Amino acid sequence: MKKKVVAALLASVMVMSLTACGSSGSSGGAASAPASEAPASEAPAQSEAAPASEAAAEGEAAADTAASGGDLNGDGKIIVGYISKNTTDVFHATLNGAAEERLDSLVADGTIDEWTGILDGNTDAAKQCDLAQDCINYPCDYVIILPAESTASDPAVTSMADAGIGVIVVNSATDSTDSAAMAFAGSDDVYAGELMGNYVMEHVEGGGTFVHCQGIIGNSAQIQRGEGIANTIEKDSGWTKAADVPCDWDASKAVNTVDDYLAQYGDDLKAVICDNDDMSSAAQAECNAKGREDIVCIGVDGNQGPLQMVKEGTLGATVLQDGAGQVNAGIDAIVASIKGETVEKKIIVPFVLVTPDNVDEYLK
């Protein structure tokens, strides 16, 4: 069945797109999101109800969904689309794998009729807009999308919502997510930035200079994690930020940044804060190789490589985001909609600060 869906989607690429969307011109890795430092298994996803005006509109949508049993377009089938951010980086491989397992199970038990398989967004907003049009043409009743960028991926969300699709935005929000999407499932990236800033301040006595390795500019995680860093360590008079360096989530670019700023600042460089832990683990390894094990490097995601470094004592900490929990929360929203139940507008999955004290809970 899935092969038929993919074939239909490939055919629909020939249909002219009805929505203009600018290319991001970027490529790269994980983006990533927190309300508790309790283990993820013990910290349930937190839901945020929509404002009264939005709740009323959502109530009407829930009623329509209940009447149709989730067949939002009335074609007699319930079809779910899945537009990934990419299919290459470690963090999104976890998200995609969890989605594939869950959606396959929903087909098997008859909750949905079909799903599209993993549609590769290639970390390219223009590609995601094209895939959104494919999902409209298919037609899908619901679509899960993991946006590449906040602004450039937004037309993908709005065009599908305008076509009557129930859009579930996962992991990173777009500009219109709050108003256009059926639900958002992700984490609080500002809090992730605050966790990193506070960790560095607590583990380096006397302050010093730090450098910030950023993700792809314009991604909501990159923006909000930077806000969290600004809320904490940048307000401490004992610390000086050398620079925000766009590294595109790329480990090799983080290593180059370490080399550049070590050469410039020498012993004054005390920390490297990274928007993901592919970068922080590579940065720490480079610092260690240069005899600067004292430099504190930290990032976000909680991938298995960085977790193993925490276990071995070669990396002090990482901030884990539960990607599988995020995508499953989004799928839960679809199931609730199909059943005619209330769908929460915003579902927050907590971040967890992982240190040697709790790493065994998360290392597989």
What's the CA gap between 355 and 140, in Å, rounded? 42
What's the CA gap between 328 and 334, in Å, rounded? 10
CB-based contact 92:56 (threshold 8 Å): no
**Using CA of residue 177, residue 116, residue 138, residue 64, what is the dihedral sign?**
negative
pTM: 0.76
Give me the domains of the chain, ranges plus CATH numbers: 2-10+47-185+323-348 (3.40.50.2300), 189-321 (3.40.50.2300)
What's the CA gap between 200 and 190, in Å, rounded? 16
What's the CA gap between 31 and 123, in Å, rounded? 10
CA dihedral 234, 238, 242, 243 (to 10 degrees): 0
- Contacts for 77 with CB less than 8 Å, ≥ 6 apart: 71, 113, 114, 141
CB-based contact 180:167 (threshold 8 Å): yes
Q: For the residues of 224-289, what is the DSSP string, one character each?
A: HHHHHHHHTGGG-TTEEEEEEEE-TT-HHHHHHHHHHHHHHHGGGEEEEEESSHHHHHHHHHHHHH
pLDDT tens digits for the chain (364 residues)?
444 443 444 344 333 343 444 433 333 333 333 333 333 333 344 444 344 334 334 433 433 433 357 999 999 999 999 999 999 988 999 999 999 999 999 999 999 999 999 999 999 999 999 999 999 999 999 999 999 999 999 999 999 999 999 999 999 999 999 999 999 999 999 999 999 999 999 999 999 999 999 999 999 999 999 999 999 999 999 999 999 999 999 999 999 999 999 999 999 999 999 999 999 999 999 999 999 999 999 999 999 999 999 999 999 999 999 999 999 999 999 999 999 999 999 999 999 999 999 999 999 8
CB-based contact 262:228 (threshold 8 Å): no
According to DSSP, the β-strands at 351-354 and 318-321 are antiparallel
Is residue 48 exposed (0-12), middle (13-18) or buried (19+ Cβ within 10 Å)? exposed
Helix/strand/coil (H, E, C) string of 135-159?
A: HHHCCCCEEEECCCCCCCCHHHHHH
